[in-house]
Copies of this chain bind each other. A is one copy, B any other.
Amino acid sequence: MEARLSLLQYALLGLLAGRTMSGYDLTKLFEQSLGHVWTARHSQIYPELKHLHEQELIAQTETGPRGRKTYATTPTGLTEVRRWLRETKPNRQPANEGLLRVFFLWLLDKDEARAYLAQEAAYHRAQTQHLKQVEQFMAASPWAERPRVQSIAIVLEAGIRHEQVMADWAEWAAKRFNEDEAGD
């Protein structure tokens, strides 16, 4: 059993199963609150919406001002997302530039390496706070409807826990660069 569509297509089908939206709405959603999980630009979203519409996996529900078009997932589309969730396995290779860089920190002076890790810690602390804000925001958004709200809360919790351990880890790592004797 393998995926029949691209991951962006599944992302769009899943999102439009929860709430009817336009390409513009989806773009903003990726930018503002979903970046941690998935991301795409409008230049990728609009052609995919067109494509999904042609395949009748989504349907155009209404048109608004400035040519705004909102879409919803069709029953066929919903069946396909469910099949994907049930019968295929996730692809796991999120190349991690942050870690790749740390792998090469021995190429810098010790104090530069320590400064880098301190920056990393600060970044992950800030991200933790950001996700906690998104959590607040979500509670007051059109997404806060049962049963979706539970899935959203669970994914946010994953993000928060992840950012917290990475912040702790970066602080621990900076200390290790301190303790050991010269590395250059």
Contacts and interface: CB of A to CB of B under 8 A. Distances in A.
A113 to B, nearest CB: 8
A81 interface: yes
B92 A94 contact: no
Contact of A155 (B91, B102, B107, B183): B102
Nearest to A177: B150
A6 to B, nearest CB: 11
A38 interface: yes
Interface of A: 7, 10-11, 14, 17-18, 35-39, 78, 81-82, 85-86, 90-108, 112, 116, 146-148, 150-152, 154-155, 157-159, 161-162, 165-166, 168-169, 172-173, 176-177, 180, 183-184
